[in-house]
Amino acid sequence: AQSVTQPDIHITVSEGASLELRCNYSYGATPYLFWYVQSPGQGLQLLLKYFSGDTLVQGIKGFEAEFKRSQSSFNLRKPSVHWSDAAEYFCAVGGQKSSGDKLTFGTGTRLAVRP
Amino acid sequence: GAVVSQHPSRVICKSGTSVKIECRSLDFQATTMFWYRQFPKQSLMLMATSNEGSKATYEQGVEKDKFLINHASLTLSTLTVTSAHPEDSSFYICSARTSGLQYFGPGTRLTVL
């Protein structure tokens, strides 16, 4: 069974500081991995995805993530956080035919940004 | 591109009534759509997978007679919460799959009084 763990429930960083959100996954084969962002009361927006190839993937809004197979991790990073980045961030695994196209989400990390 | 809409965005209903939520893919066709439920400050839980022209596949623990799903066309799936009760109050989000990715709607906030 596929699963995702986001160890940090809540993170606060100062505007302009760097950010890293952790994500660990469990999947029986090479995973498809995703990071989504959700603003309050809104749906999910895809930040970036990893299917194969280069393990460092670039996304929208200046985000990047690195797939590390040895650590079963897919951590999200941003070098300089903006106040508008305050939101809930979800890591997800799956989306392949072998899993019925299903995505499994982590519990999310709520990001607060200090002025 | 790849825009998904949901209607309504918010709905308040009385206990015992039924509520229909629509999910539309606006600029693409989706043979597969998904329905999720999200409780406050929690993650998304997959309720069911909706396939155009066939019966939906429900996740374990989801009552198919209570959450009726109809995927009548390649751009529309509906979720009907039948005989709603306060414990059904939640944020319902749909997604539509195309080119290997799921695109999410903005969600529907259901409040059952």
Q: What are the chain A neighbours of B109 within 8 Å (beta carbons)?
A: 41
Say yes or no: A98 contacts chain B, CB-CB below 8 A. no
Residue A100: predicted pLDDT = 62
What pLDDT, in 10s, does the model give residues B15-25? 999 999 999 99
Confidence of residue A99 (pLDDT cuts 50, 70, 90): low
Say yes or no: B102 contacts chain A, CB-CB below 8 A. yes
Backbone φ and ψ for B63, nearest 5 degrees, come out as -80, 115
Residue B74: what residue type? L
Query: What value does the mean pLDDT take over residues A79-97?
Result: 91
C-alpha distance from A65 to closest chain B C-alpha (Å): 18
Q: Which is nearest to B1 in space by CA: A46, A65, A101?
A: A46
CB-based contact A88:A76 (threshold 8 Å): no
CB-based contact A67:A51 (threshold 8 Å): no
What pLDDT, in 10s, does the model give residues B28-56? 999 899 999 998 878 889 999 998 888 89
Say yes or no: B8 contacts chain A, CB-CB below 8 A. no
C-alpha distance from A44 to closest chain B C-alpha (Å): 6
Partner residue facing B43 (CB), from A46, A100, A105: A105
Residue A17: what residue type? A
Contact partners, residue B80, CB within 8 Å, separation at least 6: B18, B19, B20, B21, B67, B68, B69, B70
Residue A19: predicted pLDDT = 97
